[in-house]
C-alpha cells in the first residue's frame, strides 16, 4: 500500500521548543534533614510540596534507530489528578562551557486513559518506579529531593523497595531554547548548597 503524503503539520497550540536545564546530585539518607533545612532557608517562602509519584517508562521500538522513550507519571497522593506525560530529548552536545545539562522537553497533561492509548500506539512499558519526596521552588527554579523505590510486583505501588541509601536531588528550570543565562543562576544556587550536596551536570548517556 502506498503511504499517504506526509508533511509536518503546523502546530496550533502548545509550547514548542522548551528546554530543560538540569543539575543532579544525591545525598545520603542521614544528611537529608540538613539539606532540607538549608533548602527551606534558601527557597521561596512556602511549605515544600510533598509528593509520591508512580512513574512508568515506555519505549517504542522502531525498525531502525533508537527507541522512542516517554515517561508517564501519576500522583499516588492525588489519584484523580491528570497523568503527566513527558518527552525528553537527547542532551545538547557540543558546548562544553554550558553549565547545565540542556535537553528538549515536552510536558503533556493527559487523562487516565493514557496507559491504554500508549499500549495501542505500540509503546511497551520498560520499567517503573515510585518517587517520593519534596519539591522546593525558587523563582523559576525547581528543586526536587526524592527517594526512588523499585516496584517489586508490577503495577503494585504498595510493595516497593528503596533503590539506594540516598536521595536524588535535582535542580531544574524549564525555559525556551537559547536562554543560557538560566544555567548561570542555577550554578550560583548550586554553589550555595555546597558542601551539603554537589549538583553537577550529568550526562545520562554516561550512566548507561
| Minimum CB distance to other proteins, residue 70 (Å) | 8
Give Cα separations from 175 to 5, 22, 59, 90, 178 (angstroms): 34, 11, 26, 16, 8
Looking at 113, 139, 155, 176, which residue binds other proteins (CB under 8 A)? Answer: 113
* Residue 111 interacting with other proteins (CB under 8 A): yes
Q: What are phi and psi of 145, to 5 degrees?
A: -115, 115
> Under the criterion CB under 8 A, does residue 155 sit at the interface with other proteins?
no
Q: d(Cα 94, Cα 86) in Å, to the nearest integer?
A: 24
Q: According to CB under 8 A, which one of 34, 50, 90, 109 is a site residue for other proteins?
A: 109
Alpha carbons 73 and 53: distance in angstroms, whole number: 6
Q: Does 80 bind other proteins (CB under 8 A)?
A: no
Give, as one character, the DSSP assignment of residue 133. Answer: E
Q: Which is nearer to other proteins, 14 or 41 (CB)?
A: 14
Cβ closest to other proteins, residue 42 vs residue 113: 113
Minimum distance of other proteins from residue 165's CB (angstroms): 36
- Residue located via cell numbers 543565562: 181
- Rule CB under 8 A: is residue 176 a binding residue for other proteins? no
Q: Which residue has the cell 515536552?
A: 106
Letters for 34-63 (x = contact with other proteins by CB under 8 A, - = none) are: --------------------------xxxx
- Among candidates 105, 125, 127, 130, which has minimal Cα distance to 115? 125
Judged by CB under 8 A, does residue 7 bind other proteins?
yes
Q: Please tell me whether residue 204 adopts helix, strand or coil conformation.
A: helix
Quick one: which of 42, 22, 20 has its CA closest to 187? 22
Q: Name the one range near other proteins by CB under 8 A: 2-10, 20-28, 138-146, 183-191.
A: 2-10
What CA–CA distance (Å, rounded) separates 133 from 126? Answer: 23
Question: Does 81 participate in binding other proteins (rule CB under 8 A)?
Answer: no
User: 47 or 116: whose CB is closer to other proteins?
Assistant: 116
CA distance linking residue 50 with residue 65, whole number of Å:
38
Site of interaction with other proteins (CB under 8 A): 3-9, 11-16, 60-63, 65, 68, 85, 87, 89, 104, 106-114, 116-117, 119-122
Amino acid at each position: 500500500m502506498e503511504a499517504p503524503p506526509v508533511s509536518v503539520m503546523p502546530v496550533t497550540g502548545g509550547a514548542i521548543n522548551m528546554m530543560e536545564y538540569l543539575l543532579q546530585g544525591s545525598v545520603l539518607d542521614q544528611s537529608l534533614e540538613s539539606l532540607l533545612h538549608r533548602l527551606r532557608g534558601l527557597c521561596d517562602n512556602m511549605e515544600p510540596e510533598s509528593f509520591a509519584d508512580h512513574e512508568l517508562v515506555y519505549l517504542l521500538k522502531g525498525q531502525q534507530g533508537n527507541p522512542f522513550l516517554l515517561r508517564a507519571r501519576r500522583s499516588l497522593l492525588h489519584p484523580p489528578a491528570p497523568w503527566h506525560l513527558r518527552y525528553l530529548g537527547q542532551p545538547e552536545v557540543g558546548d562544553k562551557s554550558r553549565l547545565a545539562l540542556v535537553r528538549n522537553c515536552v510536558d503533556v497533561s493527559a487523562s487516565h486513559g493514557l496507559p491504554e492509548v500508549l499500549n495501542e500506539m505500540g509503546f511497551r512499558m520498560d520499567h517503573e518506579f515510585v518517587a517520593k519526596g519534596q519539591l522546593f521552588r525558587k523563582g523559576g527554579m525547581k528543586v526536587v529531593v526524592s527517594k526512588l523505590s523499585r516496584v517489586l510486583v508490577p503495577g503494585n505501588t504498595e510493595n516497593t523497595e528503596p533503590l539506594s541509601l540516598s536521595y536524588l536531588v535535582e535542580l531544574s528550570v524549564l525555559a525556551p531554547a537559547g536562554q543560557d543565562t538560566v544555567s548561570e543562576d542555577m550554578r550560583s544556587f548550586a554553589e550555595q548548597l555546597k558542601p551539603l550536596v554537589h549538583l553537577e551536570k550529568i550526562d545520562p548517556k554516561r550512566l548507561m
